[in-house]
Chain A
Amino acid sequence: MKTKRDAGKTRQQGKRVKNKENTKRAILRAALELFAEKGFYNTTTKAISRKAGIAEGTLFNYFETKEDLALYFFEDELDGVIEWYDRNTRLKRATVSEQLFAIIQQFLDHLAPCEEFIGAVYLRALAPASKLSPWSLQSQERQLRYLQFIRRVLAQAETSGDIPRVGDFGAYAFGLFHLAIVTHWLRDRSRGKEQTLALLDRCLKLGTHFLRKGGWDW
C-alpha cells in the first residue's frame, strides 16, 4: 500500500513539474512575441501575463524580473542546441570547424526572431549587478554547461587528431569568440546577415588551420 501511494505521489509530482515547465514556456513564448512587437523595454509584465493567460501574480512566481526571463531563454536555447547537436549524425563526421560553425549558427538561428530582445539583454548584461552579467552566479551555471558542451566537441576533435590538444582553455577561447560573433551579428546590416556567416566561416577555418599547422609552438 505504502509503495503504491508513493508511486502515485511521484507521478503527481512529475505531472506538476511538467505543468510548471509548460507554463514557463507559455510565458516565454508570450514574452518573446511581445518583445518582437513592442521591444524589450516597452513590454510590461502585465502585458506578458495577459498574453500568457495567467494572473500577473503568478508570473512573478515563475520569473521575478524580465532578466530571469532572459536567463530562462538562454537556458532553453542551450538545451535546444545541445539536443540538436547530439541528434545530428551527419555533423558528427564533419570537421571540427564545421561543427563549431554549425553550433554558433544554430544559436544565431534561434536568436534571429528576437534580435531586439537579445540586443537589449546585451546592454543589460554590462551592468555588474545584473543577473545577466557574465559574473553573476546564475549565468555562470549556464556558462559552465555551455563550456562543458564545447569542451566535449573539442575533445572529440582532439581524439581524432583534427586539432592538437587545446584543453579547457580552448572552450573558454571559443566562448569569447562566440560572444564576439553574436556582437557582430547584432550589428550586421547585410542581407540575411551573410557577412556574419562569411566572417564565422573564415575565422573558424583560419583558426583550425593555424592550430593544425602550428600547434602551440608559435
Chain B
Amino acid sequence: MGKLGFSLMGSYLGYQAQNLILGEDDRPQRQSRFRQKASRRVREELGALKGPAMKLGQLLSMQDNILPEETLAELANLQMHAPAMHASLARAQFKSALGKYPEELFREFDPEPFAAASLGQVHRAITLDGEKVAVKIQYPAIRSAIENDFKLLRSATIPTRLTGHLPSALLDEIQRGLLEETDYVREADNLYFFRKGLGGLDYVTVPRAYRELSTDRVLTMSFVEGGSFADFLKRKPSQTLRNLVGYRLLEMFEVQARVLKSLHADQHPGNYIFQPDGRIGLIDFGCVKRLSIDVLELRRWYRDRAWRESDAAARQFLTMIYGNAVPFARARKILPMLERMMDIMRPQGSKSEVVIDYRDSAGRKPELKEAVREYTIQVLRDKLINPEFAFIMRADMGLHHLLRELNAHVNLTKLWEGFGDGPAGAHPF
C-alpha cells in the first residue's frame, strides 16, 4: 500500500489531476505510453490488495469521462479477474463460517472458484437434494480489513477533508456501503426483496438464497445459467437483440428506481448474466441503495428547468441534490453548467422522443463530453459532492457503460409510457 501510494501520488494521480484541472493535452503519445504502464501497475497493485482498494478500482473503471481509455481497459480486467483464495483457504473459511466443511454439506463442491466477487469468490456446488447452486465465500477477516483501510484513508485524507474537497460524509457513505457488502445475511434479504420486486419482468432471473446454507460470510444461491457480457457480445448479437437487451436493462433500472425505490448499485458487467435469447440474470446484491430522492421528481425538475423560476425554487432544487450541507451561494454556481448539459442532451420544449443511441460512438456529441468535463471539474472545485449520490451515480454510470458497450438504441419515451408517463419526459443524466 505504501509503495502504491508513493508511486501513484508521486506520478500518476498527480499527473492526471493536473491534466484534468489545467486541461493540458500536449504530447499525447508520451501520455498514452505512460498511462498504459501506469494502468497496469495500478491494476496489479490494486488486484493484490482486495477489498476496498479493489472496489475503488472497479469504481474508477466505470468513470467513462474521467479516466483515459487505456486505464479503463486495464481496470476493467479487475472486474472478472480478482486474485483467488486457493481451495484450502476457501474450504477453511467455509468451515469457519458454517462450522462444517463444504463436502459435509453438499453432494458436490467444486474446490476451484468459477467467478471472483469483489469481496470473495464463487464456487459451483450441488446440494444434498441435487440442486445446482453457487456458493459465495468471503475472504477471511475482510470486514476488519475494510475498517483498518478506512482508518488509514481517513488519516491520509485529512487535508482534502479539511478543505472540503472530500467530505467526511462521503467517506462514511462509502464505508457504510462496503461494510454492508460484507454482510451476506443482508444480501440474502436483498435477494428476496429484488426477486419479488422484479418478479413482474419475466425475462429477469434473480437467484434464490438458501438460508440454511448461508451465514454472514457464506452465501448459497440458486445457480443462474448464462454467460458473461463479453460472451454475449462475442456471439455477435443482432442489432435487434442488442436493442432488446438495452431496453430491458433500462426497464429493470426503471422498476428499481420507481417501484422498488432501491437500486442494485453495483451494475458492472460482471453482475449481469446473459442468455443468448436476451434473458438476463442479475446477481450480487451486496450493494443496494435505498433511494431517498424521488427520481421522477428529479426528472421533472430537469425537464422544466424549474429552478429558473425563483431563488426559492433554485434553493429547493439544489437542496434536493446536494443536501443542506452545501451553502446555496456555492451550489447555485453549478446551475449554468447543468443547464448547458441539459440543453445539449435535451433542448427544452423539444417534442421529439427521448432516445438513447450509442450505436455511433463517433457521433457522440463532443460538446457534451466537454460540458460533462466542465461540470465535473466544477463539482470537484466547489466541493459539490453529495454522499447520497455516490451510490446512485455508481449505479447509473455502470448501466450506461453497459449500454454503450452494447451499442444499443433505446427509445426512452416508449419505455416511460409503459410506466404510464406522458410523452416528452426528460432523461436526467
> Quick check: B111 and A201 within 8 Å, CB to CB?
no
* Segment 156-189 of A: residues with Cβ below 8 Å from B: none
Main SS of the interface on chain A?
helix
> Quick check: B96 and A193 within 8 Å, CB to CB?
yes
Distance of A98 Cα from B96 Cα, bound (Å): 17
Distance of A164 Cα from B86 Cα, bound (Å): 22
Distance of A197 Cα from B91 Cα, bound (Å): 11
Give 22 A-B contacts (CB < 8 Å), ordered by A residue.
A91-B88, A94-B87, A94-B88, A95-B86, A98-B87, A101-B86, A191-B96, A191-B217, A192-B93, A192-B217, A193-B96, A194-B93, A194-B96, A194-B97, A194-B141, A194-B217, A195-B140, A197-B93, A198-B139, A198-B140, A198-B145, A201-B140
Distance of A131 Cα from B301 Cα, bound (Å): 81
A2 at the interface (CB under 8 A from B): no
B238 at the interface (CB under 8 A from A): no
- The smallest beta-carbon distance between A122 and chain B, in angstroms, is 22
Q: A90-B111, A105-B92, A109-B95 are in contact. Are A195 and B141 (CB under 8 A)?
A: yes
Distance of A26 Cα from B15 Cα, bound (Å): 71
* Segment 188-218 of A: residues with Cβ below 8 Å from B: 190-195, 197-198, 201
> Quick check: B87 and A197 within 8 Å, CB to CB?
no
Partner among A91, A109, A190, A201 whose Cβ is within 8 Å of the Cβ of B89: A201
- The smallest beta-carbon distance between A21 and chain B, in angstroms, is 27
Distance of A191 Cα from B185 Cα, bound (Å): 15
Q: A94-B87, A190-B141, A190-B144 are in contact. Are A197 and B111 (CB under 8 A)?
A: no
A195 partner residues in chain B, CB cutoff 8 A: 140-141, 144
> Quick check: B86 and A98 within 8 Å, CB to CB?
yes
A190 partner residues in chain B, CB cutoff 8 A: 141, 144
Minimal Cβ-Cβ distance residue in B for A199:
B141
Partner among A94, A109, A191, A198 whose Cβ is within 8 Å of the Cβ of B86: A94
Minimal Cβ-Cβ distance residue in A for B112:
A90
Distance of A197 Cα from B97 Cα, bound (Å): 12
Distance of A201 Cα from B92 Cα, bound (Å): 11
A102 at the interface (CB under 8 A from B): yes
- The smallest beta-carbon distance between B101 and chain A, in angstroms, is 9
B321 at the interface (CB under 8 A from A): no
Contact with B along A93-131 (1 / 0, CB 8 A): 011011001100100010000000000000000000000
A97 partner residues in chain B, CB cutoff 8 A: 86
| Chain B interfacial positions (CB closer than 8 Å to A) | 85-89, 92-93, 95-97, 99, 111, 139-141, 144-145, 217
Partner among B88, B95, B96 whose Cβ is within 8 Å of the Cβ of A101: B88
B139 partner residues in chain A, CB cutoff 8 A: 198
Q: A90-B111, A105-B92, A192-B96 are in contact. Are A197 and B140 (CB under 8 A)?
A: yes
Minimal Cβ-Cβ distance residue in A for B85:
A201
- The smallest beta-carbon distance between B146 and chain A, in angstroms, is 12
Distance of A90 Cα from B88 Cα, bound (Å): 10
B97 partner residues in chain A, CB cutoff 8 A: 191-192, 194
- The smallest beta-carbon distance between A95 and chain B, in angstroms, is 7
> Quick check: B89 and A197 within 8 Å, CB to CB?
yes
Minimal Cβ-Cβ distance residue in A for B99:
A192
- The smallest beta-carbon distance between A60 and chain B, in angstroms, is 37
Distance of A109 Cα from B86 Cα, bound (Å): 17
Minimal Cβ-Cβ distance residue in A for B216:
A191
A98 partner residues in chain B, CB cutoff 8 A: 86-89
Could you say which of B85, B86, B88, B145 has the most chain A C-beta atoms within 10 Å of its C-beta?
A: B88
Minimal Cβ-Cβ distance residue in A for B93:
A197
> Quick check: B88 and A102 within 8 Å, CB to CB?
yes
Distance of A192 Cα from B85 Cα, bound (Å): 17
Closest 6 CB pairs of A and B: A192-B96, A194-B140, A198-B141, A102-B88, A197-B140, A198-B140
A201 partner residues in chain B, CB cutoff 8 A: 85, 89, 140
B89 partner residues in chain A, CB cutoff 8 A: 98, 101, 197, 201
Distance of A91 Cα from B111 Cα, bound (Å): 11
- The smallest beta-carbon distance between B255 and chain A, in angstroms, is 36
Minimal Cβ-Cβ distance residue in B for A95:
B86
A90 partner residues in chain B, CB cutoff 8 A: 87, 111
Minimal Cβ-Cβ distance residue in B for A112:
B95
Distance of A90 Cα from B92 Cα, bound (Å): 15
- The smallest beta-carbon distance between A103 and chain B, in angstroms, is 9
Distance of A132 Cα from B96 Cα, bound (Å): 29
A197 partner residues in chain B, CB cutoff 8 A: 89, 92-93, 96, 140-141
- The smallest beta-carbon distance between A109 and chain B, in angstroms, is 7
> Quick check: B88 and A105 within 8 Å, CB to CB?
yes
